[in-house]
Amino acid sequence: MKIYHPLHAAYRKFLDEKAKRKYRKAYGSYRGAGFECNVCSALYSRFVPWYPAKENEAALTENKVVAGYGENMICPDCLSTARERLLIALLKDRYPVYEKKILHFAPEKNLYNFLKDKATVTTCDIDPGMYRSVDPAVQCQDITKLSFKNQSYDCVIGNHILEHIPDDHLAMKEIFRVLVPGGMAILQVPYSISNAVTIETPEIKNPSRQSALYGQNDHVRIYTLDDYKKRLEHAGFEVNIINSEMLAGYRKFATQKEECFLEIKKPG
């Protein structure tokens, strides 16, 4: 592991730089009015699409999952994702982060870079080596048994995490515990817009079956939005769903058209 993760980080950086050169050249004719990246300020009439791997595609398509795939997902200049651009826009407009204490799980590079100069940010993951290139100080933490004291953070960010966790209720309770009263959690997940109920097999440990059932080889469920909201409320949170139409003003940043935002708060 001590060798693997530094090599992985260097290789990831190499691939990113290679992708930037490729996309800047390929999308040069699309430069100009259309979409604006709110990370690097680039302007393009088209962004780069991002589609699921073949082994994941059937589950995501059959269950009509909103999961960050589709047209205009990736900025050709900085490789920011639609999810990062939506969250950065919301944090700028609606949820000030200045001088806040923030816990950031599996930190997305561009979102972390937006936050780090404005707030005190602690990053963590169950496999922190995967994120050393984002933040060398990233900690090892299990989201179901955090080492932090009660009411330690003003905001907890953990996007596309809970669909991986067998005991998601325990993870939600831990997030609730470390938040201050009135604190906010940003916990976006993939969700189905067609299923009547959440489908899950928490105990599954079969990557090929997980891809076939849930659209990724380490996922254990596909939530419905209503059920996800109820699970968060059962953990103690107040939850308000901001639907995609209410977020239409942010589509100029090439956000995912179908994605909702869950405003998750600890009462207080």
Tokens of 228: 């996800």
Instruction: Give the C-alpha distances (Å, rounded to integers) separating 14 from 2, 8, 146.
Output: 19, 10, 33
Instruction: Give the C-alpha distances (Å, rounded to integers) separating 105 from 45, 135, 187, 203.
Output: 32, 11, 10, 22
**CA-closest candidate to residue 267, choices 232, 243, 242, 226:** 232
The 3-class SS string of 45-72 reads CCCEEECCCHHHHHHHHHCCEECCCEEE
CA distance 119 to 92: 13
Domain containing residue 208: CATH number: 3.40.50.150
The total domain count for the chain is 1
CA distance 172 to 143: 8
pTM of the model: 0.94
166-170 contacts at long range (C-beta below 8 A, 24 or more positions apart): 166/202, 166/203, 166/220, 167/202, 168/221, 168/231, 169/231, 169/234, 169/235, 170/144, 170/145
Q: Render each residue's pLDDT in the chain as its tens digit; 268 residues.
A: 455 556 566 666 766 778 888 988 899 999 998 999 999 999 999 999 999 999 999 999 999 999 999 999 999 999 999 999 999 999 999 999 999 999 999 999 999 999 999 999 999 999 999 999 999 999 999 999 999 999 999 999 999 999 999 999 999 999 999 999 999 999 999 999 999 999 999 999 999 999 999 999 999 999 999 999 999 999 999 999 999 999 999 999 999 999 999 999 999 9
Domain that holds residue 13: 4-265
Note whether 46 and 30 are within 8 A (CB): yes
